Chain A
Amino acid sequence: MRVALFVPCYVDQFYPKAAIATLELLEKLGCEVHYPKNQTCCGQPMANSGYEHLTSGCNNLFVDNFSGYDYIVCPSGSCTLHIKEHLYADGKEEQATEIRKKVYELTEFLVDVLKVKQLSASFPYKVGLHQSCHGLRGLRIAQMSELVAEPFSKPAQLLDLVNGLELVPLSRQDDCCGFGGTFCVVEEAVSAKMGKDRVADHISHGAQYITSADLSCLMHLEGILRRQNSDVKVIHVAEILNHSM
Chain B
Amino acid sequence: MSTATTKDHPHLAAEFNRDEPRVNWHDETLWWVRAKRDIAAHKLPEWELLRETASQIKFNVLSNLSTYLEQFEANAIKNGIIVHWAADAAEHNQIVHNLLEQRGITKMVKSKSMLTEECHLNEYLKEQGIDVIDSDLGERIVQLANEPPSHIVLPCIHKKKEEIGDIFHEHLGSAKGESDPKILTETARQHLREVFLTRRAALTGVNFAVAETGEFVICTNEGNADMGAHLAEIHIASMGIEKIIPERKHLGVFLRLLTRSATGQPITTYSSHFSKPQDGTEIHIVIVDNGRSIQLGREEFRNSLKCIRCGACMNTCPVYRKSGGHSYHTAVAGPIGSILAPNLDMKKYADLPFASTLCGSCSNVCPVKIDIHDQLYKWRQVIVKEGYSPKAKTMAMKAMALTLASPTLYRMGGKTGRLVFKYAPFAVNNKLNPWYNQREMPKAPDESFGEWYAKRKGAKN
Measured CB to CB, the residues of A under 8 A from B are 7, 9-17, 19-20, 23, 32-41, 43, 45-55, 57-58, 60-61, 133-134, 136-138, 144-149, 172, 174-176, 178-197, 219-220, 222-224, 226-227
Contact = CB atoms under 8 A, between A and B. Distances in A.
A16 B444 contact: no
14 contacts: A14-B444, A17-B445, A32-B460, A33-B460, A40-B420, A41-B410, A49-B393, A57-B405, A60-B405, A61-B407, A174-B361, A182-B354, A185-B433, A222-B440
* Contact size range, B: 35 or more
A97 B14 CA distance: 42
B397 A51 contact: yes
Nearest to A8: B449
Given A16-B445, A175-B318, A184-B426, A193 B20 contact: yes
Contacts of A190: 10, 13, 17, 319, 322-323, 355
Count chain B CB atoms within 10 A of each CB in A33, A55, A191, A222 and give the residue with the most: A191
Contacts of A53: 381, 384-385
B452 A20 contact: yes
Contact of A149 (B48, B380, B439, B449): B48
B424 A133 contact: no
A223 B44 CA distance: 41
8 nearest A-B pairs in the assembled complex, by CB-CB distance: A57-B405, A180-B357, A223-B439, A50-B380, A50-B384, A188-B434, A133-B359, A137-B360
Contacts of A17: 445
B449 A7 contact: yes
A183 B351 CA distance: 11
Count chain A CB atoms within 10 A of each CB in B358, B359, B427, B450 and give the residue with the most: B359
Given A50-B381, A193-B20, A224-B438, A13 B359 contact: no
Contacts, number: 242
A176 B34 CA distance: 14
Nearest to B373: A137
B435 A223 contact: yes
Given A57-B402, A182-B425, A186-B354, A193 B41 contact: no
A193 B23 contact: yes
A29 B300 CA distance: 43
B434 A223 contact: no
B41 to A, nearest CB: 5
Contacts of B441: 223
B448 interface: yes
Contacts of B323: 187, 189-190
Nearest to B366: A146
A223 B17 contact: no
A67 to B, nearest CB: 14
Contacts of B27: 197
Nearest to B9: A187
Given A43-B404, A52-B381, A192-B437, A184 B322 contact: no
B218 to A, nearest CB: 27
B453 interface: yes
Contact of B425 (A16, A41, A47, A185): A185
A146 B424 CA distance: 32
B449 A20 contact: yes
B400 interface: yes
A195 to B, nearest CB: 7
Nearest to B441: A223
Given A50-B389, A51-B384, A227-B439, A61 B358 contact: no
